[in-house]
Structure 1
Amino acid sequence: MFQYQLSKTVIGLVFLLAGLIYTFTAPLIGYLVDHKNCTIETMIGGSLLASVAFTVFGPSPILRIPKYTFIFYAHYF
């Protein structure tokens, strides 16, 4: 908090964003997997998204991302 000079409100909103994203995407993904029978595609897509998120979360030295950016946004990809 002090290192990045952010208020408690901003930090709380960032964590709230994760819950909101999960709230809206979980039923959608569940519907697609159950009714459209696309389990393999869903697993491949999730694996690719996780790979990108972990690459950015590091952050990878290849990407040259400033430290303050990856902490908040990489977690929510």
Structure 2
Amino acid sequence: MADPYDHRAVLSFPYASERRARVVHDAIHVEVGGIDDDRSTADATRSGATVEVVVRARDLVALRAGVNTWTRLVETAETVAAVAEA
């Protein structure tokens, strides 16, 4: 079966520690599947101290919106993680 999503963006977020990456990943991963629509989807994975978000979309407008959404989610998770460690 062919992938219905013609466009893809890979967002990579490296962290100073595996712990910080795990905290950010755990915070955003709960949104995977929850904010998908008929034009875009995303997945979040972690490998060591790096979190990777892959956004796939049917069109460039949906891709831009997905990238903006996931970037904001990661930014919020980073802010909360930093405050929690302070």
Specify the TM-score bucket, using the shorter chain as the normaliser: 0.3 to 0.5
Choose 1 or 2 for highest CA Rg.
1
Higher helix content, 1 or 2 = 1
Higher relative contact order (Cα pairs below 8 Å, separated by 6+ residues):
2
TM-score, structure 2 as length reference = 0.33
